[in-house]
Every structure is written in C-alpha cells, then in structure tokens.
A and B are shown apart, each in its own frame.
Chain A
Amino acid sequence: QLQLQESGPGLVKPSETLSLTCTVSGGSISGSSYYWGWIRQPPGKGLEWIGSIYYSGSTYYNPSLKSRVTISVDTSKNQFSLKLTSVSAADTAVYYCARHWVAGAFDYWGQGTLVTVSS
C-alpha cells in the first residue's frame, strides 16, 4: 500500500522560506506515469494546488505561486520537496503531498502537516 508522509517545520517566520519533504513508501517515486504534487488548505478554507513534479525533474506550478515555489525530487531517497519563499500569514495552511497521473486525479494523499507563518 502506497503511503506518503509530509515532514518539516510547523512554524516559519514571515519573509522566510517554508521547506517541506514528502517521503513515499510502499512504492517507487521513479518510473510509471505518476506525478507527485503539493496541495495546501488554509484553515477553514478550500484546497489549492501548488505544483507537481515528475521523477525526471519536470515541474509544473500554479501560476499564482510560480515566482515563489520550487519543487524538487530525490529518487535515491524516494522523496520530493517543496520550498516556498517570502512567506506571509496568508501561507498558513495544512500542506498535503499527493500522487497523480498526468492530467488525472490525486489518488494517494499524505495526512497533511500544518505550517503556521508567525513571528
């Protein structure tokens, strides 16, 4: 059974960089036709797609966040990561990692991790 697990600091200061890692177990992040994505959900609000990456390193970002987002992959560790720069309180959210196929649905999700932006 495929499992995804987010990890990283739960508190980030304004203007700093948010960094999260998603560790994939029960399957390989390489090969096949799957992509690996990040989605976030501010408290009490809806879901927002942040971006996705293919194991080869090809990346796709939400145009509204593109200038601040970098997603990378480490196939040797079966992990992919998110960096979001210049954060503000508006970036406070539960961050989820998930798997999807090209143009398709997100079928496996991590449990999510709350990141709070505050001084």
Chain B
Amino acid sequence: QSALTQPASVSGSPGQSITISCTGTSSDVGGYNYVSWYQQHPGKAPKLMIYDVSNRPSGVSNRFSGSKSGNTASLTISGLQAEDEADYYCSSYTSSSTLVYVFGTGTKVTVL
C-alpha cells in the first residue's frame, strides 16, 4: 500500500487556524473511520492527537479537531500557538482481510 498524501508544509501566524489534509483511497481513509493524527516534535516520539477521525484523547487541547470527507481526512489547529510547531502525521487502517496500517507522508507546521 502507498503512503497517504499530505502537504509537505503548512504555516500560519499565532492565533490563526490551519488545516492539514491527508488524502488516501477508498481502501483506507475513505473506507474506514479509523484515521488518526500524530504530533511529533524533533527528537521525540509521536503523540496521538486525534483518533477515529474526530475524537480527541484525554489531555489534548480542543484547539485540535479532525474530520473526513470521502478519501480525504483533515486536521485543523485553531488558535495556533508556538508550541504547535512540529511535524504531523496521519494514519489509517487499510485492510478488511487483515490488520494493516499506513501512515501519511508528514507535514511540517511552522508558526510564523
């Protein structure tokens, strides 16, 4: 399976909202509501930010929200803060016959 497609970079000023897209196919993003999003700061392990398309784990700011339309999922960060500068990856379950996962290509978020 191929990696999900994300923009290489997205930027915004503090306080603004940005949206990161994650495009797959009907075999992954479009076929299941099992899209998740991860934040990764340099040298750190990824941190789960959104699961099952739009659910936030306990402790994650409500400035982070997720959605999906067709084969494209999106992560929106509202009220952008300096600490949000990081790499973001989407991931999706991608098979009905066995358990398989695919990650996105990753997006670098820069806070201007």
Binary per-residue interface labels of chain A (91-107) against chain B in the complex, 1 for a CB within 8 Å, 0 otherwise? 00000100000111111
A37 contact set on B, CB distance < 8 A: 101
Contacts of A47 in B (CB 8 A): 38, 46, 89, 91, 103, 106
Which of chain B's residues have a CB closer than 8 A to the CB of A107?
48, 51, 57
Given contacts A47-B38, A49-B103, A107-B48, 11 further A-B contacts (CB under 8 A): A46-B3, A46-B103, A62-B100, A96-B46, A102-B99, A104-B51, A105-B34, A105-B36, A106-B46, A106-B48, A110-B45
A104 in contact with B106 (CB, 8 Å): no
What interface size band does chain A fall in? 20 to 34
Q: How far is the CA of A55 from the CA of B28 in the complex (A)?
A: 25
Tell me the bound Cα distance from A86 to B92 in angstroms: 28
Chain B, interface residues (CB within 8 Å), range: 20 to 34
Q: Looking at the complex, which one of A35, A48, A60 makes contact with B103 (CB distance below 8 Å)? A: A48
- B84 proximal to A (CB < 8 A): no
Hey, which chain A residues are within 8 Å of B51, CB to CB? 104-105, 107
Binding site for B on A (CB under 8 A): 35, 37, 39, 46-49, 52, 60, 62-63, 96, 102-107, 109-112
Q: Are A49 and B46 in contact, with the CB atoms below 8 A?
A: no
* Residues of A with C-beta under 8 A to B1: 63
Q: Is B18 an interface residue (CB 8 A)?
A: no
Which residues in chain B, 65-112, are within 8 Å of chain A measured between CB atoms? Answer: 89, 91, 93, 98-106
Q: How far is the CB of A97 from chain B (nearest CB, A)?
A: 10
The answer to whether A103 and B99 touch (CB under 8 A), given A46-B3, A63-B1, is: yes
